Chains A and B, each alone.
Chain A
């Protein structure tokens, strides 16, 4: 068992090494910008999949934490002048508290009622951001930039350093979430997703596990928003708008809901689509809608889910 943990660490270190070497192959700024956005969205979508794919809680309002993470971090850096590590930890703390309160209310409801209540909380944050102009800058977003003072020799105003930092946060976040879904808690989440009633009759306090999952997902969702605010050196109301949650759902759908790395693959696909399609047509939404429709109708397992399924099937046939 211990050896598998070490194997995971070796894989994570190898993945980090590959990410560090990639700019040598793709030296342009466009690539590093893409990877930073990917880090933010991959963490965000994977955290949502902890709820949707692993616990059976379809949240339409996960963008609440994306927006909260972005604004908490940016405001702490801008108004309080704290160091980046302190603001990082404080953002995680704020998100955990908010997720506990929101989760305690939402998880009492089931299915579509849960989904809509989470969406309502997200739109509540969005409304607060729009209305509280003196603090948040209203619909213009935070103006004046987010200070990025150096810490431990890391200068996040240097694009290279920012790239490395975001990749490191991505790898560490995915590593932690991967271990979480492989832990006894992860299996309890899957039991609840499959059959919450049966889980209760095994002694599981379903709402407690759901709340813990909600908080963990919220915390990682906020880390995604935090990275984005570092990247754009600001925070905008759009970060807390419902479309952000929709994008994460699309990423999960496109990559694969039942595979841990599905949302990561989905994030790559959606961001690539975004970058490519917006260059060739202004009807981005229409194109995206058609592509999502194709996935929903023809590739329900998502791309990675389908590939793994086909591979397993081929192996079974060969045996």
Chain B
């Protein structure tokens, strides 16, 4: 589904991404982990066209999307949610989702018909129901709680019916209980939609519980990849990221 070959990106003298080769199968749930500065968000930025790679290919199916603009990449089926919820504060929750649906269907530059388009409403309702925001549909997005804003950010990406969904730290800034609720919601979404889901996460309990496969980045390269069990016991990962304390804690 999504294949990254020999990806490079540097900013000035810093090699943020330094020759990454990765493959993400269709319908899989993958966690990308690594210490701060490992290049995780840069990796997402390259896939979604926020930056053009210096070298390398990003294949969505057989289509090379490396260097395309973000809107063009989105239209090919890659959706994204951000570490800090990226929403439209002055729009209501419903308007926000309808805006995304309109964009997905190519209706966003229609000048003549009134908003919302009737056809878009049903899809918006479905998305709101999926993330559990139906009751807050008429609230201003900017007035939502932090957790709901994160959900709305994910809902925006879902409204695009993506083939690949990238979630950058979906539980960032949440309390322990809220974290598990959020990741549970994300997991249910994945089970229901069966898109290829890749998420960046620092909470290793969440990662080990939910991810089918884990990719570990360090200094812009792939340090390790494998199942939860393999990563948990990988000496390089323990040394570079998990730390011996985590291993002892397990013991």
Which residues 63-112 of B sit at the A interface, judged by CB distance below 8 A? 69-71, 74-75, 79-80, 82, 86-91, 95-96, 98-100, 102-104, 107-112
Other-chain contact of A195, B48, B71, B87, B107 (Cβ < 8 Å): B87
Bound CA–CA A200/B96 (angstroms): 14
Check B250 for interface membership: any CB of A closer than 8 A.
no
Q: Are A182 and B114 in contact (CB under 8 A)?
A: yes
Which residues 91-138 of B sit at the A interface, judged by CB distance below 8 A? 91, 95-96, 98-100, 102-104, 107-118
Check B4 for interface membership: any CB of A closer than 8 A.
no
Other-chain contact of A198, B86, B90, B102, B115 (Cβ < 8 Å): B86
Check A133 for interface membership: any CB of B closer than 8 A.
no
Task: Output the least CB separation between A76 and chain B (Å).
Answer: 27
Q: A184-B107, A188-B99, A203-B71 are in contact. Are A1 and B118 (CB under 8 A)?
A: yes
Check B156 for interface membership: any CB of A closer than 8 A.
yes
Q: Are A203 and B74 in contact (CB under 8 A)?
A: yes
Instruction: Note all chain B residues with C-beta closer than 8 A to A200.
Output: 69-71, 74
Which residues 173-224 of A sit at the B interface, judged by CB distance below 8 A? 179-180, 182-188, 190-191, 193-195, 197-206, 208-209, 212
Most B Cβ at <10 Å: residue of A1, A191, A197: A191
Other-chain contact of A202, B103, B107, B110, B115 (Cβ < 8 Å): B103
Q: Are B88 and A195 in contact (CB under 8 A)?
A: yes
Q: Are A187 and B99 in contact (CB under 8 A)?
A: yes
A1-41 Cβ-contact flags toward B at 8 Å (1 or 0): 10011000000000000000000000000000000000000
Q: Are B115 and A182 in contact (CB under 8 A)?
A: yes
Q: Are B90 and A190 in contact (CB under 8 A)?
A: yes
Q: Are A183 and B104 in contact (CB under 8 A)?
A: no
Q: Are A188 and B88 in contact (CB under 8 A)?
A: no
Q: Are A191 and B99 in contact (CB under 8 A)?
A: yes
Other-chain contact of B111, A185, A194, A201, A208 (Cβ < 8 Å): A185
Q: Are A191 and B88 in contact (CB under 8 A)?
A: yes
Q: A183-B111, A185-B109, A187-B98 are in contact. Are A201 and B70 (CB under 8 A)?
A: yes
Q: A198-B87, A200-B70 are in contact. Are A184 and B75 (CB under 8 A)?
A: no
Other-chain contact of A203, B86, B90, B103, B114 (Cβ < 8 Å): B103
Q: Are B86 and A185 in contact (CB under 8 A)?
A: no
Instruction: Note all chain A residues with C-beta closer than 8 A to B102.
Output: 184, 187-188
Q: Are B114 and A202 in contact (CB under 8 A)?
A: no
Identify whether the interface residues of A are mostly helix, strand, loop, or mixed.
helix
Check B222 for interface membership: any CB of A closer than 8 A.
no
Bound CA–CA A201/B103 (angstroms): 10
Check B160 for interface membership: any CB of A closer than 8 A.
yes
Bound CA–CA A188/B96 (angstroms): 10
In the complex, how many residues of chain A place their beta carbon closer than 8 angstroms to a beta carbon of chain B?
A: 31
Task: Output the least CB separation between B166 and chain A (Å).
Answer: 10
Bound CA–CA A199/B159 (angstroms): 13
Q: Are A184 and B71 in contact (CB under 8 A)?
A: no
Q: A4-B114, A201-B70, A205-B69 are in contact. Are A187 and B95 (CB under 8 A)?
A: yes
Task: Output the least CB separation between B72 and chain A (Å).
Answer: 8
Other-chain contact of A204, B71, B79, B90, B114 (Cβ < 8 Å): B71
Instruction: Note all chain B residues with C-beta closer than 8 A to A179.
Output: 112, 114
Nearest residue (CB) in B for A188 is B108
Bound CA–CA A201/B95 (angstroms): 17
Bound CA–CA A1/B117 (angstroms): 9
Q: Are B71 and A205 in contact (CB under 8 A)?
A: yes
Q: Are B109 and A203 in contact (CB under 8 A)?
A: no
Instruction: Note all chain A residues with C-beta closer than 8 A to B109.
Output: 184-185, 188, 208-209, 212
Instruction: Note all chain A residues with C-beta closer than 8 A to B98.
Output: 187
Instruction: Note all chain B residues with C-beta closer than 8 A to A258.
Output: 90
Q: Are A183 and B113 in contact (CB under 8 A)?
A: yes
Instruction: Note all chain B residues with C-beta closer than 8 A to A203.
Output: 71, 74-75, 103-104, 160
Q: Are B107 and A201 in contact (CB under 8 A)?
A: no
Instruction: Note all chain B residues with C-beta closer than 8 A to A194.
Output: 87-91
B124-160 Cβ-contact flags toward A at 8 Å (1 or 0): 0000000000000000000000000000000011001
Task: Output the least CB separation between B119 and chain A (Å).
Answer: 11
Q: Are B115 and A184 in contact (CB under 8 A)?
A: yes
Nearest residue (CB) in A for B75 is A203
Most B Cβ at <10 Å: residue of A180, A184, A205: A184
Instruction: Note all chain A residues with C-beta closer than 8 A to B118.
Output: 1
Q: A195-B87, A209-B109 are in contact. Are A1 and B80 (CB under 8 A)?
A: no
Other-chain contact of A190, B69, B91, B156 (Cβ < 8 Å): B91
Bound CA–CA A206/B86 (angstroms): 16
Q: List 27 A-B contacts (CB under 8 A).
A: A1-B114, A182-B115, A184-B102, A184-B108, A184-B109, A184-B115, A184-B116, A184-B117, A185-B108, A187-B91, A187-B102, A188-B103, A188-B109, A190-B91, A191-B96, A193-B90, A198-B82, A200-B70, A201-B70, A201-B79, A203-B71, A203-B75, A204-B71, A204-B103, A205-B71, A208-B109, A212-B109
A183-B112, A185-B108, A186-B115 known; 6 other A-B pairs, CB under 8 Å?
A183-B114, A187-B91, A187-B115, A188-B109, A194-B91, A200-B70
The interface of chain A, by Cβ under 8 A from chain B, is: 1, 4-5, 179-180, 182-188, 190-191, 193-195, 197-206, 208-209, 212, 258
The 6 closest A-B pairs by CB, nearest first: A203-B74, A194-B88, A188-B108, A198-B86, A200-B70, A184-B110
